[in-house]
Structure 1
Amino acid sequence: MHTRDLIQFLSELSENNNRAWFVMNKPRYDILRAEFLELVTALIPQIVKFDPAVAGCNPKKALFRINRDMRFSRDKSPYKTTFSAAITASGLKKPSQGGGPAYYFHVDAEGKLLVAGGEYMPPPDRLRAIRQHVVADADGFSKMLKNRKLKETYGDLQQEGKLARPPKGFDADAPHIEYLKLKSFIVWKETAIGKRVPADLGKELAAGFRDAYPLVAWLRQAA
């Protein structure tokens, strides 16, 4: 995959986020999109080596569309300035669709690679199930958080969007109360790759996802 070309395209798109520019540059987009699909297609078998559950994931469906949903947004820019994909066991990439825990990554217009694993902003019913699982499997949750590879690569779970108080139905002295306040159960890391493009991006992504696997596996147990 020509990563530098992708970053250059996204950078130009961020400065010319309109339909006329995109139509003029559609041939560039089509080539880069095809290369990105090849990357995801080759990445899935690498993930299967440590997580066989994703073997049935359709790479075409794992890719996110570049068109933005502007219906409920004040930002009327028609296009995203990232190329992104989410690989799941269910084959569904969106939390609202019940996709479950995912391996997610994107490349953005600033030349940053974000690698993530877990569930970002799951719907209310799913979030409650995860929180109940934290309480029911407090020891298992602790063990997962202490996993050496997970901690070395990602540190702790991301703390963005945290409630100020315990969620409804959970006591203030419940196990892992600070984690119960989270609205997402996800880890991620961000790396600047604009000047230092990985020699094998797929291999680097697979390694990052392997280190996130303990969280993904634990989340799959929440029902």
Structure 2
Amino acid sequence: MTSAGFEPETFRFLENLAANNSKEWFEANKVDYQRAIKKPADQFRPALQGALEELTGRALASKQFRINRDLRFSKDKTPYNTHIRMAFWPTGTAFEGKDAQPPSFFLSIEADHIRLGTGCMAFSKPVLGKYLSALETGGGDEVAALLTQLQKKEFELSEPDLAKAPRGFPKDHPHAELARHKGLGVWKTLPDPKAVLGNGAVAALVESWAPTLPFWRYLLGLQERT
């Protein structure tokens, strides 16, 4: 299995797609899409999955998100995504409802930068209950410390979902701000897309993700206790 990354033509295709986001242009350039996007992504994802399995010590599942956009509820009717996105999560963990997900690693390859993340964008109801209970009863110090360390390493915390702590959570609690989150993730932008070019791409990305491993394990522990 190759661990080779993408090539510069990947980013040229994404730039051109952004400038010509139509079905007609895409169909006329489908051979370039297969060569610059689909084929290297199909090789890159399993290589990255294997490296993340070594990092976490867990078997992982993965997916690559479709190039076609879901236009049903969007005012933006451009038909194609202008990025490559992947997600990796532990096998045997559940997706619940429309959005709730297990602790995952996320990768977004954009035309001019790389975005990577770790976390749950939305907790299931049982996990959300465990999370809020942990915050209130003393476990909040652990996750707050993890997040502080990650912010020092230039990771950004996902935006809170609520304007204030949910009903029943003490408003004056030291972790009331964290209680505003119905999911929790951290994100980092790599401004140079060369991070996914060539043979060192997988190792470089895993090195960037490595500081989030204790946070990922904390979230996984919440899910496995439900």
Per the shorter chain, which TM-score range? 0.7 to 0.9
Shift of 1:163: 2.7
Change (3 A) 1:28 1:130: farther
Q: Distance in 1 between matches of 2:38 and 2:156?
A: 33
Check conservation: 2:99, 2:122, Cα contact below 8 A.
Answer: no
Check conservation: 1:112, 1:190, Cα contact below 8 A.
Answer: yes
Shift of 1:81: 0.7
Using the size of structure 2 for normalisation, the TM-score is: 0.82
Structure 1: gaps of 5 or more residues: none
Q: Who is 1:187 aligned against? A: 186
Give deviations 1:5-38, integer Å, cap 9, x for gaps: 1111111111111111111111121222121121
Counterpart check, 1:29 vs 2:42: no
Give deviations 1:67-91, integer Å, cap 9, x for gaps: 1111111111111111010000147
Change (3 A) 1:194 1:51: closer
Check conservation: 2:165, 2:171, Cα contact below 8 A.
Answer: yes
Q: Distance in 1 between matches of 2:195 and 2:160?
A: 32
Q: Who is 1:4 aligned against? A: 8
Q: Who is 1:207 aligned against? A: 207
Q: Quick one: which of 93, 106, 109 aligns to 1:107?
A: 109
Change (3 A) 1:6 1:128: farther
Counterpart check, 1:52 vs 2:53: no
Shift of 1:184: 3.5
Check conservation: 2:161, 2:180, Cα contact below 8 A.
Answer: yes
Check conservation: 1:47, 1:210, Cα contact below 8 A.
Answer: no
Check conservation: 2:119, 2:184, Cα contact below 8 A.
Answer: yes
Q: Secondary structure at the match of 1:100?
A: coil
Shift of 1:139: 3.5
Q: Who is 1:79 aligned against? A: 80
Structure 2: gaps of 5 or more residues: none
Q: Distance in 2 between matches of 1:195 and 1:208?
A: 13
The letter for the 2-side match of 1:140 is: E
Q: Distance in 2 between matches of 1:97 and 1:162?
A: 13
The letter for the 2-side match of 1:189 is: K
Using the size of structure 1 for normalisation, the TM-score is: 0.83
Check conservation: 2:55, 2:210, Cα contact below 8 A.
Answer: yes
Change (3 A) 1:132 1:77: farther
Change (3 A) 1:118 1:197: closer
Root-mean-square deviation (CA), in Å?
2.6
